[in-house]
Amino acid sequence: MKHIVIGILVVLSVQFGVAQEEAMQDTIPDNTYREDQFYIGFTYNILQNRPSEISQNNLSNGIHLGFIRDFPINEKRNKAIGIGVGYSYNAYFHNLKAIETDTEISYQVIDGGESFKRNKYRTHVVELPIEFRWRTSTASNYKFWRVYGGFKLGYIFSGISKFVSNDEKIKFQNDDINRFQYGLTLSAGYNTWNFHVYYGLNKLFKDTTFTTDGEQFEMSIIKVGLLFYIL
C-alpha cells in the first residue's frame, strides 16, 4: 500500500510540474513570437460618387495577397505595427464606355437598349499596407480575436479599359486612371475569418476626366470582403 501511495504522489507531482510549465509558457513572453505574416483576400469593389447615369453591373471583384512584417511593440506581443508589400487585382464592371482616339480618351454612357457582353476597368496594383495591430493571441494560441486598422498606398501599374460586344472589341491602357491610390483599411475577426474594408481617399480618375455631359468624374473606391491571415 505504501508503494502505491508513493507511486500516486510521484505521478501527481509530475503532472503538476507539467501543468506549471505549460502555464509559465503561456505567461512568459516569447521574444521571437510574431503573428500574421502573409494574407490573401477577396472583395466586392464599389465605385462610389458615380455620376447619376453610371451604374455597376456583374460582380466587380478584387483579389489581394501579400506579405506583412509584424513588429510587436509591447511585452505580451499582442500589439504590433505591420508593414508590408502586396499585389491587388481589381475589376469594375459598369456602363461607361471608354473610347481611345489619337488625341484623347472619350466616354459615353451605354444606352440601356444596347447589347454588350462586358464593359469594365481592370487594374493591377502594387500596394504598401501599414497596420496597427491588436489581438488576443499568445505564442501557443492560434485561435484569437484581432482588430487591425491602417493605411494602404497603392500604385496602379496596369489600368485597362475593356469593352466587348458582338460587333466591337476595345481594349487599351487608360491613362486617365489615377496611378496612385491610397485609403484607410480595417480588418477584424476571429481565427480564420476576418471582415475587411478599404475606403479610398482619392479619386480613381484624374481631374481632367469628364463624362459626356461635362460632369467631372468624382468616383472613388470602397472594397468590402474577407481577408485571411497566415503565419
- Residue 223 CB: number of other CB atoms within 10 A? 24
Q: Which of 97, 101, 100, 98 is nearest to 115 (CA)?
A: 97
Tell me the residue length of the chain. Answer: 231
Any idea which of 13-17, 60-64, 153-157 has the lowest mean pLDDT? 13-17
142 vs 38, residue with greater confidence = 38
Entry pTM: 0.83
Query: How confident is the model over 65-112, as pLDDT tens digits?
Result: 999 999 999 988 889 999 999 999 999 999 988 999 888 888 888 876
C-alpha to C-alpha distance for 177 and 95, rounded to whole angstroms: 17
Instruction: Check whether residue 24 and residue 54 sit in a common domain.
Output: no
Instruction: Check whether residue 154 and residue 124 sit in a common domain.
Output: yes
In degrees, rounded to 5, the angle at the alpha carbon of residue 156 between the alpha carbons of residues 104 and 59 is: 90
Domain that residue 58 falls in: 35-230
Total domains in the fold of the chain: 2
Beta bridge mates, 158: 124
Q: How far apart are the first and last CA of the chain?
A: 52
Instruction: Check whether residue 112 and residue 180 sit in a common domain.
Output: yes
Backbone φ, ψ for residue 102 (5° rounding): -65, -25
Query: How confident is the model over 58-77, as pLDDT tens digits?
Result: 899 999 999 999 999 998 88
